[in-house]
Amino acid sequence: MLTFYHAPWSRSSAILWLLEELGVEYRMELIDIRGGAPEQYRLIQPNKKVPAIDHDGTVVTERAAIAIYLGDAFPQARLAPAIGDPDRAAYLTMLVYHDAVFDPAISARVKGLTYVSNDFSFGLFDDMVAYLERKLSERPFAAGERFTAADVIFGAGINFTMNILKGLPERPVFRDYLARVTDRPAYRRASEKDMELAKGVPAFRQMFEKQAT
């Protein structure tokens, strides 16, 4: 059994999309990270964050690690280049780069944090943007010529930070990349599921009530 610990409209939404891409059965446990996750959830995720999974007793946390694990655990979906595949190095690099550099660099920018490159391991925001723009100009997908789990993570990340958070600058290469990776049935299914789940989250109730009036 695969159990997925999820909070709608959060960093775990990327893993919801990935599960839909994999086409595997899973059980969802909703974690109210905005209202206060239960203390016992620390036994699964020490900071009471999402996402997390429990796959037949094996617990995996952290978005990049979950994507790597699931891509390898379900090779029939062909979302992870196998060991020995020339694209494997780029695939792993981009998955980890998203969570270790892209995400914290944008968070620092949005929060107005000023620093020099060596102050933090994730480096400078402008360097990250330039690197991402170059890589997505060189190849159609994050790891090469085909869609992988890395595109789920980067697709979700770019979509949120550029279109919703407004932390990532709009660039034609980012818009074109998003059009490629989100034009998929699994993305639409995940988005619809997340929308319905979000309607039940107390923190979003007022927003939905305003939309209804």
Say whether 154 sits in a helix, a strand or coil.
helix
pLDDT tens for 139-188 read 999 999 999 999 999 999 999 999 999 999 999 999 999 999 999 999 99
179 plus 191 within the same structural domain: no
d(CA 31, CA 5): 6
- State the CATH number of the domain containing residue 19: 3.40.30.10
For helices 13-22 and 63-73, the axis angle rounded to 10 degrees is: 10
Domain count within the chain: 2
51 plus 31 within the same structural domain: yes
- Quote the domain boundaries for residue 112: 88-184
pTM above 0.85, yes or no: yes
- State the CATH number of the domain containing residue 167: 1.20.1050.10
pLDDT tens for 86-108 read 999 999 999 999 999 999 999 99
Q: Is residue 210 part of a domain?
A: no
Cα dihedral 43/48/53/54 (nearest 10): 10
Q: Give the E-state strand segments of 82-142 in sequence order.
A: none
